[in-house]
Amino acid sequence: MSVLAVGLSHRSSPVALLERVALNGETRTRAIGEMVGSDAVNEVMVVSTCNRTEVYADVENPHGGVAAITELLSWHTGVTLGELNEHLYAHFDDNAVQHLFSVTCGLDSMVVGEGQILGQVRDALKEGQETGSVGRVLNDLGQRALRVGKRAHTETHLDHAGADMVSFGLTIATRNLAVTPDPSLPAAEVTPPAGCPMSGQGPLPAERTEPRTLGAALPSGPLTGSRVLVLGAGSMSALSANTVARQGAGTVVVANRTPERAARLAECLNEAYDTVRVGSVPFPDAAASLTDVDLVISCTGAQGLVLTADAVAAATEGRTRPLVFLDLALPRDIDPGVRELPGVHLVDIEDLRQAVAAGTDHDPGRSNALPLVRGIVDEEVDEFRAIRRANEVAPTVVALRAQARGVVESELSRLHGRLPDDLDERTREEIGRAMRRVADKLLHRPTVRVKELAAAPDGESYEAALRQLFDLDLQIPKTPDGETCPGRRSPAVRPAQEKA
């Protein structure tokens, strides 16, 4: 069995290809089901964000797993194998583990250190647990990755040093804004309510009873007095709305296909901020709202364009103020053709990637935190390897002890036939216990050492030597229908698709 990571990211692929390979909705569900139903793949977890599409898998054979996953990616996305192979990367075992840990910490993100990826990995793991595509191997790996991500952000203060996609995108987008401050905005403190799910702060600690108060200087940020339309009401949209409110936006309008979610986000923001007016509109009315806003942030996760160039052109006819779009979605929400419209500016994932490449997001504080995070990742990879190897050697240790017990019981049976008939039962039992203690003590040190040695880079050789020396037969457990079972899935998790 091997852990495998196969995927494309902003580091290996142009955004146009990432957009085509993105797995969302029914396509994602079908692809995961067919991957885990493949003979080469036991478990699957898919992490698909605006930065990457990656498949993590427990496979019988690494090369067979790569081939099966790549072919299914090609089939479900319509991207040819030639195009995929040109930009695809694959990591095996320890390298796959290290890659996932680095991704979860934000080390591999477009905006290094951003914290949204931690939630996205959590969602991917939860999805796999609910559908049954994740079993024991990937559940252990995913849980450990979340622990590593939390530890990195807590111990290194990476959250304080690093930015996020929304903040970085706004830094680029607001260069094209022409905002006139709204004098009617009160210069009050910004006080999110305790535990508001959309405040971006999470629930307050139990020992605190007062809400966290942000500095009064926040309302005079780069978006002071601006009017913002947020398309979508998911986690990234909530973060976007929260961020523009903190940066001093005067008005925020939320549009979502589920009106209740848009209304809930607007309600939370109104409770959190005294300096912003927040409302919601039906999603079909989003285009009509363009006439009244300065900035549009879109991250809906839709499969097609949300706003076409024609719709934007109609809404901006006769407009004199600039209109800026920040498209954080993949696939993209905003028609790239809007760039050709007068007074309209578009910032999308490709623009952000170019800004990163130019060093626009350099932050000395984040640079100081990164070596500490990498050290945590390396430490956790070593520890995970040791635990995994110890688990893998366990069947060999069990087989060795079972063999020894069999020898002891056989010899005891022969001995009892030769002992005097008048020997009392208590003495016979004491003889049996003594022989079993001798066997256990003889095996104790070798079994402890083989578990320790299994954690070394070449640890498999020690387990193999033990099997060869004692001629151990590792029995593979059977499922109720008689099929061989790798013993890797959690009994509480059903496979998404039974293998034929």
Task: Give the C-alpha separation, 100 to 52, whole Å.
Answer: 12
Q: Is 105 a catalytic residue?
A: no
The verdict on whether omega for the bond into residue 331 sits within 30 degrees of 0, i.e. cis, is yes
Side chain identity at residue 190, one-letter code: V
Strand boundaries in 295-369, DSSP class E: 295-298, 323-327, 344-347
Q: Which of 268, 287, 290, 288 is CA-nearest to residue 278? A: 268
Catalytic residue among 50, 105, 268, 299: 50
SS3 call for 278? strand
Task: Give the C-alpha separation, 247 to 173, whole Å.
Answer: 13
Helix axes 62-77, 25-36, angle to 10 degrees: 150
Given a contact cutoff of 8 angstroms between Cβ atoms, the answer to whether 137 and 391 are in contact is no
- Return all residues near 192 (Cβ < 8 A) that are at least 6 apart: 199, 200, 201, 211, 212, 214, 271, 272, 273
Q: Which of 147, 152, 243, 256 is CA-nearest to residue 200? A: 243
**C-alpha distances in angstroms, 458 versus 63, 262, 386?**
20, 54, 12
Task: Give the C-alpha separation, 73 to 182, whole Å.
Answer: 50
Q: Which of 145, 144, 136 is CA-nearest to residue 103? A: 145
Structure tokens at 383: 């520890």
The CA-to-CA distance between both ends of the chain, in Å, stands at 20
Given a contact cutoff of 8 angstroms between Cβ atoms, the answer to whether 346 and 338 are in contact is yes
Side chain identity at residue 170, one-letter code: L
Total Cβ atoms within 10 A of residue 479: 9
Which residues have a catalytic role annotated? 50
